[in-house]
Amino acid sequence: IITVKKILIILGIFISTLSFSQVDNQTIVARYMEFYEYNSYSNEFEEISAQWVETIMDFDDDYYDISIDGSDFNRVYWEFEERDKDLGDIYYTQDELKFIFNYDEQKIYFYSEYDDGIELYTEIIVLSKISKK
């Protein structure tokens, strides 16, 4: 006999796996964008700018289409890399840019400008204020 406690545990496990699944084939809208650059003197990322910008992303298994502030959609091909329990789902684009979809924070991180010398991406764009379209 399955008890109510067992049902709640099973349901909890099922819901937690849903919240950490790969990005579904869906369209989302992010309304806020922040830019960060790495400062080698302070060894930290510093915010360069933050602004209200509408970004529409249409996700597919092999690519996403993106439009920023009403521009034409551009297609970017990507590969799922891994699921990190703290960061979220990590992808790499065709240009080897790092893309992280953080489900807990409801933010999307784009890492670019990889510096081989310090082995670090030196620019980050963060999209937030996300909703499904």
DSSP state of 7: H
pTM of structure: 0.79
pLDDT mean by block of 10 residues, the chain; 133 residues: 44 37 77 96 96 93 90 92 91 91 92 94 95 86
Q: Given this model, what pLDDT does residue 92 score?
A: 94
| Helix (H), strand (E) at residue 4 | helix 4-19
**pLDDT the model gives residue 22:** 52
Dihedral sign from CA coordinates of 72, 125, 94, 60: negative
